[in-house]
Amino acid sequence: MWTFLHKLASPPHFFSYAKGLIPWFAWPGYALLIYGSFAGLFLAPMDYQQKDAYRIIYLHVPAAYLSMMAYVIMAVAGGIGLIWRMKLAHAVAASAAPIGASFTFLALATGSIWGRPMWGTWWEWGDPRLMSELILLFLYIGYMALRGAIDDTAKADKASAVLALVGAVNIPVIHFSVEWWSSLHQGPTLVRAGGPAMDTSMLYPLLAMILGATLVFVSLLLRRVRSEVLQREQRTRWVKALVLSPKGGR
């Protein structure tokens, strides 16, 4: 069992099997995204309260969900890397950060676009979810800034893992504090989409989008981890052999 896991986590081994895994995540993921966006934009009925504006949830909800998911992956991978000194885990954490930050940005952008017709403003300060996403974006920025500031990769891995863990412990507290903060002032109270009384013709495309986006996320992550591994191991024998082989590493 342990030797199997050990082999699974060895960089050269990972590099070769991850390549085979990517299409298994990417193709179903893109297919689901295409179905979800078509069904969400054209087949699902209009919301009687929000009109067509609600349709942005098909982008917003998966992005918001993945923005947090990526942070959790980053923190867990960092923790594994710290405790078991697994190099691959650090490569995963390093690769998850920019993807997570992009999804966070997407969630903020779509939330803001949604807010324009709903609240009549691009940025509603009183909305706790947007505020939490913004703080999450700041956390990602801090994480990537710390990584960028440390030249030695091994040191950057460990330091940023500590930061990600501290951040992960703080995220629920941040969420709670922002909820409390916004509950104190009488902001616009609109029922956000995604409530329990959602028609199945609206819900299925959303579920398809969430699942599809997750699969695409995994394929993107694998792709990034592969190139990260290649860069980190550039001095090793297996990478040199790979580059010199007739296929040129592809």
Partner 1 sequence: MNGAAGQLPGLLVCLRATLQRELLLVLRRPGDMLNPLFFFAMVCTLFPLAMGPSEEQLAFAAPGVLWVAALLAMLLSLNSLFLSDHADGSLEQLLASPQPLVVLALGKTVAHWLTSGLPLVLLSPALAMAFRLPAGTIWVLMSALTLGTVSLSLLGSVGAALTVGLHRGTALLSLLILPLAMPVLIFGARTVSLSAAGDTYSMGLFALAAYAVGALSLAPFATAAALRISNE
Partner 2 sequence: MSNTLSAHKLTLVRGERCLFKGLNFALGSGELLLLEGRNGSGKTSLLKAIIGLLELETGEFQWNGMPVRSQRQEFLSASVWMAHRVGMKPDLTASENLSFESTLRPLNNCDIEEALERLGVLRLKKLPLRSLSAGQQRRVGLARMLIARATLWLMDEPFTNLDREGRDLLTGIISDHIEAGGLCVLAAHQDVAVDVPTQRILLE
Is residue 177 part of the contact set for partner 1 (CB under 8 A)?
yes
Closest to partner 2 by CB, 235 vs 250, is: 235
The pair of structure tokens assigned to 192 is 């956000």
Is residue 139 part of the contact set for partner 1 (CB under 8 A)?
yes
Closest to partner 1 by CB, 149 vs 243, is: 149
Q: Which of 174, 207, 211, 218 binds partner 1 (CB under 8 A)?
A: 174
| Binding at 11: pick from partner 2, partner 1, none (beta carbon under 5-8 Å per type) | none
Compose the 181-220 pattern: x for residues touching partner 2 by CB under 8 A, - for all others: ----------------------------------------
> Is the distance from CB of 180 to CB of 18 less than 8 angstroms?
no
Residue for token pair 């010199």: 244
Compose the 52-91 pattern: x for residues touching partner 1 by CB under 8 A, - for all others: ------------------------------x---------
Q: Which of 34, 155, 203, 249 binds partner 1 (CB under 8 A)?
A: 155
Q: Which long-range contacts (CB under 8 A, 24 or more apart) does 5-14 make?
A: 9/86, 9/87, 9/88, 9/89, 10/88, 11/87, 11/88, 11/91, 11/229, 11/232, 11/233, 11/236, 11/238, 12/233, 12/238, 14/88, 14/225, 14/226, 14/229
Is residue 151 part of the contact set for partner 2 (CB under 8 A)?
yes
Is residue 135 part of the contact set for partner 1 (CB under 8 A)?
yes
User: How many amino acids of this chain bind partner 1 (CB under 8 A)?
Assistant: 30
Closest to partner 2 by CB, 134 vs 150, is: 150
Longest dimension (CA), the chain: 67
Residue 142 CB neighbour total at 10 angstroms: 14
**What DSSP string runs through 90-129?**
HHHHHHHHHHHHHHHHHHHHHHHHHHHHHHSSS--TT-HH
Which residues bind to partner 2, rule: CB under 8 A?
A: 151-152, 235
